[in-house]
Structure 1
Amino acid sequence: MSSGQSVSAALDRLPVGGFHRRLLAICGTAWAFDGMEVIVISFTLPVLLDAWSLSGFTAGVLGSASLLGMILGNWGWGYVADRYGRKPAFQWTVLTYAAFAGLTALAVGFYSGFALRFLTGVGLGGALAVDTSYLSEHLPTSRRGRYLVYLDAFWPLGYGFAVALAWLFLAFLPGSAGTVVVPVFGAVEGWRLLFVASALPGLLVFIIRTQLAETPYYLARAGDVDAANDRLREIAAENGDEPSLIDPDAVESIDAPGFRRLFEADIRTRTVMIATAWFCINFGYYGVFIWLPQTVSAAGLVGNVYYYFLLIAVVQFPGYFSAAYLVERVGRRLTLGVYLLASGVFTFVFAAAMPDVGFGLGITGFWPFFVGLLAASFFTLGAWGAIYAYTPELFPTEARATGNGFAGGVGKIAAVIGPILAGALVTDGYLLALAPLAAAFAVGGLVVLGFGEETKGVSLR
């Protein structure tokens, strides 16, 4: 057994094995459900536009309700995770978003729908901040970036699951009146059943409670080095390795300092840089994807839109895997910056290919639209993988979840604005609505390339 080691050194001496793959599967499943919950509203918006007589603006506000809740969830739950532990925060965030997602089935109009989606977002925002912090604090330096991108690669699984559920409850099962006959309850609107099905992630809480334990980083920072070493023994035993333990003298116990730590001199530039990147990627992504079903339908260039949504989800996987390779090969900063720039370029391409754009751009027809859309999906989701790998490495342990949550919360402010702005501008043309989203991606890429610091191969502190 080794002595005189920090938490990072002890974890670095443990090879990646069965424990890490099991942990990735559990955290990834939670991540996939996060993706499903976030995107499911985009499939119900066209239905609710008519059912609740919504305007384009109010529909955009409803579509952004969970994103608005995610601001509070990112900031609040990140702090809770730093103060009280990653595991309890993880399980409560999952339970919160699953419960309120299911209860959205009871909404009777805009206001109740907005409230329930907002509360769903409070749990979602917390889960996204805590999940990455939890996984990152179990990984060796050499594989941390790749595994965090792999984590985000579960997102399109959730997207695909949302597409399948939307097709089942909004297209396949409903009759001409849009209802499904359910024993005992009678005719039920398909969108309500879709939200009932979205409560499924609540079952994951039992797995988190029984299969996961607190991270060694958090335990050591809280002053319980014995518990941190017990955790390292458990990891080593599951992998079939000898444990590498922490020296109490190599660990400093620090209370959770809160948000002020993010703006101290040593990490202030990092905080502003990554928060800006989060703002830009959220503004572009949610502005595009919340309205994507409506955009694809309006283009009139495809047949069965659900088929194309599945293709969009499928192409996201090579986007993630390429980013997973590149973050360890060329670094986090360059990968994220270039992928954001490419996202902006291809978002503009498919926007310019929309019918009746008419700016003499020469980008028209099915193939420019289709290839631009797929390429934008490829690079945008690759950028998401890179930013989730990059962000937790920028902050010290005592502020890691708070930093994750702060950056994510700033991003969700943009995620609220993006769909609302797109919804307000779309009546004047799709290029006008989508061009600001493309520009945001590009600005985010330039900020990362200009001000980001490389963290590849750097141990967590």
Structure 2
Amino acid sequence: MAKGVSTDERVSVSQVMDRIPVGRFHRRLLAICGSAWAFDGMEVIIISFTLPVLISAWGLTGLAAGLLGSASLMGMILGNWAWGRYADEHGRIDAFQWTVLTYSLFAGLTALATGFYSGFALRFLTGVGLGGALAVDTSYLSEHLPTDRRGRYLVYLDAFWPLGNVFAVGLAWLFLSALSTGGTVGVPLLGEVAGWRLLFASAAFPALLVFVIRSQLRETPYYLAQKGDVEGANDRIREIAEENDEEFTPISANSVEIGEPPSYSRLFETDLRKRTVMIALAWFAVNFGYYGVFIWLPQTVGAAGVVESVTVAGATIDSLYVYFLLIGLVQFPGYFSAAYLVEKIGRKPTLGSYLVLSGLFTFVFAASMPDVSLFGAGLSGFWPFFGGLLAASFFTLGAWGAIYAYTPELFPTEVRATGNGFAGGVGKIGAVIGPILAGALVETGYLWALLPLAVAFVLGGLLVLAFGRETMGEPLF
């Protein structure tokens, strides 16, 4: 028994974890979880670059293109709900491995698609893994962090997402532009291969991360204690304390309450119902707005008339890739500002205000499109468009960071992954509807296509500010 702990003292997991300051273990854990997160972001956004090519190659209608672009998002609904529940029943680490393997495998197999139906099926199955990884990754990381740094580190986790977007931009440029001649790339032994197939094949490499997860990560002490494995929880806490060169304090058996088997009905019991509905609708808003804007962003930027070839280090590059790189880079300060504010002013005001500002700046760049004269020529042109787009990207990704910090703190351990998965699944319903609605409305003009997305952001922010519950400084329960 550790020094200073009496036999009748109730020492909980949260108390012990709060006694271990952030150190070497937490930074290593963030790097591994963040890598999975970055690959998630890469897999999701790749379709934005391949969709125009596939429309031409497969002769897709506008509806078919919208469905194909949303296929992985549809799969993410199932993945969020199913894998979140699985993680609460069978463990976070088991679910983490399988979700990463699932999205990597089916992303790579998409290279073999022969048309709309096979492409849709493979993108859907990729999404099942992606949705599960998002639900499990946040639950896993949150259950290893002290209360005073949990919000900040969960925002840091989401800050790996634009890194994945940058990977996607780089791979898309490599296979669709730099190495491509007439849309194909010469490959030894295989001959000429369509660039988009090589792009998807390269997206299978995150499967290698499974070996890192299996060798480096263990189950969370919260989950082990909730399942009644006090010895296992203490072993895990001892490992964390030793890696951080801190003194180990064990949890006491009398502090552990074995929870009921996870159930979706638990999310709607009296003590959780209000927060479940609030956070699920906030997830719907951020997904509806973000994916509605970003799935169609290459076409939107093209329609703004700002795409042309530029010369960088002697190489001619389609400026679309440059714009996407800048849009991705501006997301990092968006995350870091949110990481600071969730610990300074709280999760609720940060998330609510960032959502509202996301909506306002989405409206600004929509109103400055060439086919819009809402405010006259003064609000039209490159700088209002591009400035509004960068600001919208800044605040939207900051809102993503804040919502990932906020959500796991709203649910108890026995349904934390289930709650994460449920809210994320509701969000992905919005993610499916957003791009389809934007695609359907774009023929009437970009303002009308983007206006519902801007309104959703604002309404989601107001909902959080009105009905959210602040969790800053509260231990996990």
Q: Same fold (TM over 0.5)?
A: yes
Cα shift readout 1:341-379 (whole Å, capped 9, x = no counterpart)? 000000000011111212345410010001000000000
Matching residue within 80, 87, 92 for 1:74? 80
Instruction: Name the amino acid aligned to 2:358.
Output: S
Matching residue within 156, 160, 166 for 2:162? 156
Name the SS of the counterpart of 1:64 in structure 2: helix
Cα shift readout 1:106-126 (whole Å, capped 9, x = no counterpart)? 001111000000000000000
* Structure 1 residue ranges without an equivalent (≥5): none
Matching residue within 23, 26, 34 for 2:32? 26
Name the SS of the counterpart of 2:180 in structure 1: coil
Aligned partner of 1:219 in structure 2 is 224
2:85, 2:262 within 8 Å by CA — same for their partners in 1?
A: no
2:25, 2:243 within 8 Å by CA — same for their partners in 1?
A: yes
Deviation at 1:255, TM superposition (A): 3.2
357-366 vs 386-395, which moves further? 357-366
Name the SS of the counterpart of 2:379 in structure 1: coil
- Whether 1:7 aligns to 2:13 is yes
Q: Hey, what's the Cα distance between the residues in 1 that align with 2:442 and 2:54? A: 18
Deviation at 1:296, TM superposition (A): 0.6
Aligned partner of 1:411 in structure 2 is 427
298-307 vs 72-81, which moves further? 298-307
- Whether 1:359 aligns to 2:374 is yes
Matching residue within 141, 152, 155 for 1:146? 152
Name the SS of the counterpart of 1:188 in structure 2: strand
3-12 vs 414-423, which moves further? 3-12
Aligned pairs for 1:30-429 (under 5 A) are 30-175=36-181, 177-303=182-308, 304-361=319-376, 362-429=378-445
Identity between Structure 1 and Structure 2 (%): 74
1:343, 1:380 within 8 Å by CA — same for their partners in 2?
A: yes
Deviation at 1:54, TM superposition (A): 1.1
Q: Hey, what's the Cα distance between the residues in 2 that align with 1:311 and 1:285? A: 17
Q: RMSD across aligned C-alpha pairs, in angstroms?
A: 0.8
Normalization by structure 2: what TM-score?
Answer: 0.96
Q: Hey, what's the Cα distance between the residues in 2 that align with 1:126 and 1:255? A: 22
Q: Hey, what's the Cα distance between the residues in 2 that align with 1:246 and 1:342? A: 44
Name the SS of the counterpart of 1:180 in structure 2: strand
Normalization by structure 1: what TM-score?
Answer: 0.99
Deviation at 1:4, TM superposition (A): 2.1
Instruction: Name the amino acid aligned to 2:418.
Output: T
2:26, 2:145 within 8 Å by CA — same for their partners in 1?
A: yes
1:222, 1:255 within 8 Å by CA — same for their partners in 2?
A: no
Q: Hey, what's the Cα distance between the residues in 1 that align with 2:152 and 2:375? A: 42
1:83, 1:255 within 8 Å by CA — same for their partners in 2?
A: no
Q: Hey, what's the Cα distance between the residues in 1 that align with 2:234 and 2:10? A: 13
Instruction: Name the amino acid aligned to 1:4.
Output: R
Q: Hey, what's the Cα distance between the residues in 2 that align with 1:196 and 1:293? A: 22
Instruction: Name the amino acid aligned to 2:231.
Output: D
1:101, 1:116 within 8 Å by CA — same for their partners in 2?
A: yes
Cα shift readout 1:46-95 (whole Å, capped 9, x = no counterpart)? 11111111122211110000000000000000000000000000000000
Q: Hey, what's the Cα distance between the residues in 2 that align with 1:348 and 1:359? A: 11
Name the SS of the counterpart of 1:359 in structure 2: coil
Deviation at 1:40, TM superposition (A): 0.5
Q: Hey, what's the Cα distance between the residues in 1 that align with 2:103 and 2:320? A: 28
Deviation at 1:291, TM superposition (A): 0.5
2:80, 2:132 within 8 Å by CA — same for their partners in 1?
A: yes
- Whether 1:457 aligns to 2:473 is yes
Deviation at 1:190, TM superposition (A): 0.2
